[in-house]
């Protein structure tokens, strides 16, 4: 596989659910408009990719050997079974009650999926539509409408596995040539991207001292390392990893913004918050490159139309206030910020310093020694500012957003970590600290995984309940519904035939 083939495979994989959605959920006018511009932008991307020159000097190899492709495929297969992507293996996570139920709804109901008299939690008292990140589910659902629900778990396993495999291929290409790729993948999966000595302090110290503020400040970081993302929400993992890798390669290495808006728009159907966080990085790189090749019609029109449709779709969501708002509205530490403000401030400062600050400073020392690393140094400053601001969302706005912001910036930091370590191996700088860091973070990553990963006996897709049944598990939160009486429902969505 070449990098060109990987790029085309990536965009093909991401665009397929978007095409299914616009054809099956939108009215004829908007379906036609979005289909035409999507195919136009996609065709332009393929044509340009095949013709353009790739900056192969920045990649591990020009062509990924077939045996490496096979190894990564086998590793993905094992990992998929380990996390039971299709309910095969040790058991699925808590989130798969929701995953499997949504897939069943998409298979059994006609598109768009509408609930005329849904009254969940006594709150949803108006017509609603299924309004969630459906890209992960739609290909499986559309096929099973023809072959039956019995194949759904197998197809969901295959579809999720393809996304994970693509992310590993990107990681392989972007890893410097003088690094051991097995060690890189291990560090990446364990979330050992940062220096985090007290990440799980609340497990070790819970019987000694109470550290509620530290626990809540570090929660977004603790829940967002890659094993957790795959286990709980593979759609978010795919968006953040593949999204950051693609944008970093196109905007930073190739210095070409020609299709980045179109690319980011495709992520919205997978994970709106994940696309938002990748979009922040993209916006910075686009401005940094002074909008080079950004304003082409295939980028602006294709990306603009898809973004408009997806934004309209997700803005129709009902608000589930249980998981947003100030920290004291959903944490049992009411008044703590007022009683001990110094502890609160120290927790936030400590979080920023120990979670990433030490290592950012270390990379700064490496990158600042060579003038050729000027661009990496600027990107490092951006990562530092991004990370410092991200925890503030955990306090005052939305913890899901905080989790996506932090997990996404970690991946970009990880790329810079690889570059820094690669340069250390060829310089006079001692590598003892980083080797100690790697050993420590592998141990910590294993400990974090063992204390965090949970496997449940989740009903398979065929046996999952329907959303309008009284025994539906509470994993189907209010946030998974959108208002039918909205701009999207009234002007973009196709009419639903009354039964």
Q: What confidence score (pLDDT) does residue 392 get?
A: 63
> How is residue 177 written in tokens?
């040539």
For residue range 331-386, list pLDDT tens digits in order: 333 344 445 556 556 666 766 676 677 778 878 888 888 888 899 999 999 998 88
- Beta partners for 483? 128
For residue range 381-427, list pLDDT tens digits in order: 999 888 877 766 655 445 667 777 778 888 898 898 888 888 887 77
List of the chain residues with pLDDT < 70: 55, 117-125, 192-225, 319-348, 350-352, 354-355, 391-400, 428-430, 434, 437, 448, 469-478, 498-499
* Phi-psi region at 272: left, alpha or beta (left = phi > 0; alpha = psi -120 to 50): alpha
User: CA–CA separation, 49 vs 57, rounded Å?
Assistant: 17
Q: What confidence score (pLDDT) does residue 498 get?
A: 59
342 Cβ contact list (under 8 Å, min separation 6) = none
Q: What confidence score (pLDDT) does residue 296 get?
A: 93
Q: What confidence score (pLDDT) does residue 397 get?
A: 47
User: CA–CA separation, 426 vs 485, rounded Å?
Assistant: 61
Q: What confidence score (pLDDT) does residue 297 get?
A: 94
Q: How many CA atoms lie within 13 A of 34 on its CB side?
A: 28
User: CA–CA separation, 349 vs 133, rounded Å?
Assistant: 34
Q: Return the DSSP state at 465.
A: P
Nearest to 194 by CA among 383, 442, 410, 419: 410
Cis amide leading into 151 (omega within 30)? no
For residue range 27-78, list pLDDT tens digits in order: 999 999 999 999 999 999 999 999 987 767 778 888 888 999 999 999 999 9
Q: What confidence score (pLDDT) does residue 335 get?
A: 41
Q: What confidence score (pLDDT) does residue 8 get?
A: 96
Delimit the domains of the chain by residue range. 3-190+225-318+428-492
Q: What confidence score (pLDDT) does residue 489 get?
A: 92
Q: What is the pTM of this model?
A: 0.89
């Amino acid at each position: 596989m070449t990098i060109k083939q990987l790029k085309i495979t990536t965009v093909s994989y991401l665009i397929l659910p978007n095409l299914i959605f616009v054809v099956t959920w939108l009215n004829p006018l908007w379906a036609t408009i979005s289909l035409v511009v999507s195919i136009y932008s996609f065709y332009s991307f393929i044509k340009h990719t095949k013709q353009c020159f790739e900056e192969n000097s920045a990649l591990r190899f020009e062509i990924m050997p077939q045996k490496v492709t096979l190894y990564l495929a086998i590793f993905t297969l094992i990992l998929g079974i380990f996390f039971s992507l299709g309910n095969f293996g040790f058991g699925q996570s808590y989130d798969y009650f929701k995953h499997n139920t949504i897939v069943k709804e998409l298979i059994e109901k006609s598109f768009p999926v509408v609930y005329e008299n849904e009254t969940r939690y006594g709150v949803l008292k108006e017509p609603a539509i299924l309004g969630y990140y459906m890209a992960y589910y739609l290909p499986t659902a559309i096929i099973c409408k023809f072959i039956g629900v019995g194949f759904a778990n197998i197809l969901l396993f295959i579809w999720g596995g393809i996304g994970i495999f693509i992310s590993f291929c990107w990681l392989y290409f972007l890893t410097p040539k003088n690094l051991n790729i097995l060690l890189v993948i291990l560090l990446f999966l364990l979330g050992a991207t940062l220096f985090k000595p007290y990440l799980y302090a609340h497990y070790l110290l819970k019987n000694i001292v109470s550290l509620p503020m530290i626990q809540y400040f570090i929660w977004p970081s603790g829940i967002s390392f890659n094993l957790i993302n795959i286990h709980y929400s593979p759609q978010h993992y795919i968006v953040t990893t593949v999204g950051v890798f693609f944008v970093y390669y196109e905007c930073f290495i190739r210095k070409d913004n020609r299709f980045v808006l179109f690319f980011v728009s495709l992520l919205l159907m997978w994970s709106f918050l994940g696309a938002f966080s990748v979009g922040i990085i993209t916006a910075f790189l686009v401005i940094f490159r002074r909008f080079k090749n950004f304003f082409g019609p295939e980028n602006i029109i294709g990306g603009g139309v898809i973004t408009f449709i997806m934004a309209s779709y997700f803005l129709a969501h009902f608000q589930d206030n249980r998981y947003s708002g100030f920290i004291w509205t959903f944490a049992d530490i009411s008044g703590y910020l007022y009683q001990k403000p110094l502890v609160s401030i120290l927790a936030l400062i400590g979080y920023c310093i120990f979670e990433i600050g030490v290592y950012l400073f270390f990379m700064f020392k490496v990158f600042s020694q060579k003038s050729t690393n000027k661009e990496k140094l600027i990107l490092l400053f951006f990562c530092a500012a991004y990370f410092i601001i991200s925890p503030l969302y955990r306090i005052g706005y939305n913890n899901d957003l905080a989790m996506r912001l932090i997990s996404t910036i970690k991946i970009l930091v990880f790329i810079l970590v690889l570059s820094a370590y690669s340069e250390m191996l060829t310089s006079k700088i001692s590598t003892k600290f980083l080797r100690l860091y790697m050993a420590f973070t592998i141990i910590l990553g294993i400990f974090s995984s063992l204390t965090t990963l949970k496997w449940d006996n989740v009903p398979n897709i065929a046996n999952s309940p329907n959303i309008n049944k009284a025994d539906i598990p509470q994993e189907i939160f209010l946030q998974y519904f959108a208002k039918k009486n909205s701009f999207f429902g009234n002007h973009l969505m196709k009419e639903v035939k009354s039964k």
